[in-house]
Structures are given as C-alpha cells and as structure tokens.
Amino acid sequence: MFNDIIKDRDVEQMDDNELLSLIDKERLPRHVAFIMDGNGRWARERFLPRIAGHQEGIESVREIIKVSIELGIKALTFYAFSIENWRRPEVEVNALMRLLEKYLQSELKEMMENNIRFQTIGRIKELPESARRWIEKAAHETRDNKKLILNMALSYGGRAEITDAAKLLANDLKDNKISMEEITEEFFAKYLNTHGLPDPDLMIRTSGESRISNFLLWQLAYTELHFTKTLWPDFRRREMLLAIIDYQRRERRFGLTGEQVNRR
C-alpha cells in the first residue's frame, strides 16, 4: 500500500516537508554508500579550479550526514579517494590530502557531539603520515559513539580489498589457524575491510555515470543502485530524500519471487 501511494504521486513537484512525510521510517536503508562524482565538472562549469569542487563537495557530505541522523540511518560509506586516484596530478592529490586533514580537524568535535563513529576502509598506510595521524585520532576518539557510522573509503579499490582478504585467508590456512571446511561466503567476509558493517542497502552515484567503478565489489551484490545526474556538490537534503523514496519504491527479493516476499 505504501509503495502504491508513492508511485501515484509526482514526488519531483513536492517540497522537502512533503517528501519527508512520504518516507517510511520502518523501511530505511541501514547502510547507504556514495560514489561522490562530479566535483571537477561542477568547478569547471563555474570556471573555478578543480579543488573548489572538492571543497564544495565537503558541504554535501556534511548535509548528508545531518539528514541521515535526522532519518535514523545507521551507516554511511563515502568513496573519498580510490586507488586509481593516485594517478591524478600531484597538485590535486596533495590538495585532496590537505582537505581530508582539514575536514577531520574541523569535524571531530561535531562527531563527538552527534555520537558519530568515524572509521575508514582501504590501504590507509599509503596515505601521507599527517593524514594518517588525523585518521587515527578521529577513529580513536569516536570509537565508542553509536548513533551513526561514518565510513570513509580512502586509497580504496574493491579488487584490491578482495585480493588483500584472499592473502590474509591464505596465510591463516598456511598457518593452520583455519581449515578449508570453515570457508564460506560469510566466513570470507570477515577478512574484508567492511567486517562488522552491514552490506549497503543503497548505493548512490552522482553526476550521471552508471557504473560502480571498483567500489565495494563484494558488498554490492544485492544493493539497490540509484544513479542521478546531479553533481555531487549539488547533492543535498532534497536529493537524499528523493533517493530514499526511490529506494522504498523497490521490492527487494534477494532471489525470492514477489509472492514469497509478500508472504514474509
């Protein structure tokens, strides 16, 4: 019935309060992941340096965290810096690392006030030492916070994560710490960076691209995908509400038939 109500109404014409009233708080995604695409294009359209797009994109991160807390979403993962991003011009990479440090310095107090736990996935050892220090500080100081998990993917790639997990598993097999019979999908997942996090229920990619770009390849197996033409610096509260409504329109079957899902 709830899905029928949403389908019959033109959500694009609604204001934010009307959109919020349509969201079923009992059917929220637990974990939402983001590919934050379009920062450079946003800056180029305004004849600004690329770093200006990244700076404005941080404002979108802040607003998405705020609305997620308001709704009651429990975990967010932001694809902040991929392994492939190391191939970008050195001046841009250095600027992104400084932005990361500045963000953590400025937001740590708010993380504590809002009960947010900060953590990361990816090959963090590849980041500059100063960035690693701030990551470790934020993770340590927020480790007991429970309202929202803020997970940043840094120097991250899905294939690299699976490869690293396979190496760890192989070492444990070699050292007789585990047996071949123990290895299941659930057991293998314990070796992934995201161990302890639920798989994303929803993945949002901005800027009009329709691919997952080596992001959470294992974890996105049954994730609902939402692609929007909105550039990341313009992705704010309203866009997030529309994405949640789009998610709640869908029937998540996990291999079952629609009739089986409706009987559950």
- The angle, 0 to 180 degrees and rounded to 10, between the axes of the packed helices 90-113 and 129-141 is 20
Helix (H) or strand (E) holding 206: none
Strand ranges for the chain from DSSP E: 31-35, 75-82, 116-121, 148-156, 202-205, 224-227
Number of H helices, E strands in the chain: 10, 6
The sign of the dihedral angle between the CA atoms of 67, 72, 73, 76 is positive
Give the bridge partners for 120, in sequence order. 152
The verdict on whether 37 is a catalytic residue reads: yes
Q: How far apart are CA 102 and CA 25, in angstroms?
A: 34
| Closest residue by Cα to residue 150 from 161, 139, 140, 159 | 139
Residue 262: which residues within 8 A CB-CB, separation 6 or more? none
Q: How far apart are CA 211 and CA 229, in angstroms?
A: 13
Choice among 85, 114, 145, 214 that is catalytic: 85
Choice among 37, 151, 199, 201 that is catalytic: 37
- The angle, 0 to 180 degrees and rounded to 10, between the axes of the packed helices 50-71 and 90-113 is 20
Task: Please state the φ and ψ torsions of residue 240, each to the nearest 5 degrees.
Answer: -65, -45
Catalytic site positions:
37, 85
